[in-house]
Amino acid sequence: MDAEWRARIARADASLQRLEEIRASCRTLAEYVRDRDTAPLTERHVQIVVEAVLDLANLLIERNAWGAPDSGRKAVELLVQRKAISPRLGKSVITWIHTRNLIVHEYARIDDARLHRALRLHLKALRSAVAILSKRAGIA
């Protein structure tokens, strides 16, 4: 089972690497929107990483018998309550969950400026979440 989880983490890490490359090459919004493939590529990699974070969050909750939250937001709030992650990281992850939900369910409303800003300012939180949750779940 842990081999499957390590594969998920490896995929999330690869997506994080690609997001970091996009962030480095698209310092301005104009650079970000210049290539019509950049935004959809960013959206897909964000979706992959956030899904991995949610999966890891739920695995950690399950392994510790902390309950069964019925949403990603509630899972993150429970992790903060149990001191598995900091309140600051929890807030950032919840913001990313909201972004992922927009990508998946309301893709026509995605604001390129907002996603570019999140990529520029808050990408580190996703990398931290993957690292912390995988370690606490005993996978790293």
List, in order of start, the domains of the chain with CATH numbers: 2-136 (1.20.120.580)
Return the closest-CA partner of residue 116 out of 48, 35, 56. Answer: 35
Cα–Cα distances (Å) from 42 to 30, 49, 51, 83, in that order, read 15, 11, 14, 30
Residue 127 has pLDDT above 90, yes or no: yes
Q: 62-90: per-residue pLDDT in tens?
A: 999 999 999 999 999 999 999 999 999 99
- State residue 6's pLDDT score: 92
**DSSP category for residue 110:** -
Q: What is d(CA 5, CA 8) in angstroms, rounded to the nearest whole number?
A: 5
pTM of whole model > 0.85? yes
Cα-trace Rg, the chain: 15
Q: What is the DSSP code string of 46-85?
A: HHHHHHHHHHHHHHHHHHTT----SSHHHHHHHHHHTTSS
